[in-house]
Amino acid sequence: MTDWTALPDRDPSEAELAAVREALRSPDPVERDERAYSRLAGWIPGLAEERRLALGDAMADRFGDPEIQARTFAPLVLGRIVRTGSLRAEWLAAFARWYPAETDLRGHHPALGWLHAVAHGADLLGAFGQHPDVDPEPLLALGTARLLAPTGHVFDAMEDDRLGCALALTLTRPELTECQAVGWLDAVAEVFAGGEPGPVPAEVSNTLRTLRVVHLLAVRGVRPQWGGAEVRALPHGAAVGERIAEVLSTAAPYLG
């Protein structure tokens, strides 16, 4: 195991960058998360644009990797890159194919450590959602598709908070009309209306809890940085909150 964190916080050599990039595929959670990812996250803001683009291409390719930890750390790194302003349309296309289709939604694995496909994907969704060159409306539909995809996994590691925050950040985009800001909820309403008596399916439970987060952020505003002082209002927050309440009441009548 290499202690990548011992490398200087400077522009890395090609050999160093390639080695750390490869370590992000490691099944060892210390090697991958605490060492490789931490080192790479520190390098990304200072990389030259062409190097960030090349790294982003490599991460987008990993959405098709056979190893779950490789797939789920790709969006975490790609989100860091997108937040610097770097962007390729191909990255968004690759992410859109992977995110709702991923079936391994485990948050934490005793041997592999954090996997967090939904949460890490949500971080990238939120990064795309704040990028001025990305159309926000399809991102709302993409988040909905992830929520409604059939699964046996009930969120157990705050994935609902992460995805709710990503949707709320996307909803801060001023170019969204009120119709667009609430339209993504129609697909949820249709699924909820078709519900039958019995145990609540995992994807419905996940969606209910995520929408409660979005409702809270629609009322209070959302912080673009965890722990940061800035709070952004949702331009159509009142309409979003009202529509979410209507949709939730279909599947959760206790809400009124």
**Distance from C-alpha of 120 to C-alpha of 205, rounded to nearest angstrom:** 20
pLDDT tens, position by position, 25-71: 999 999 999 889 999 999 999 999 999 999 999 999 999 999 999 99
Question: For residue 24, what are the β-bridge partners?
Answer: none
Q: How far is CA 47 from the centre of its chain?
A: 23
Q: How confident is the model at residue 148 (pLDDT cuts 50, 70, 90)?
A: very high
3-state DSSP assignment of residue 109? strand
pTM: 0.95
The β-bridge relationship of strands 108-109 and 113-114 is antiparallel
Cβ(40)–Cβ(20) below 8 Å: yes
- How many residues appear in the chain? 256
Residue 85's identity, in one-letter code, is: G
pLDDT in tens, 155-187: 999 999 999 999 999 999 999 999 999 999 999
At 195 the pLDDT is 84
Measured between its terminal Cα atoms, the distance across the chain in Å is 55
- In this structure, the number of other CB atoms found within 10 A of the CB of residue 88 comes to 15
User: pLDDT of 187-237, one tens digit each?
Assistant: 999 999 998 888 999 999 999 999 999 999 999 999 998 888 999 999 999
Contact 95, 75 (CB under 8 A): yes
Per the listing, tokens 């990304």 go with 44
Tokens linked to 70: 């490789």
Residue 1 above 60 pLDDT? no
CA distances from 27 to 15, 73, 110 (A): 21, 11, 11
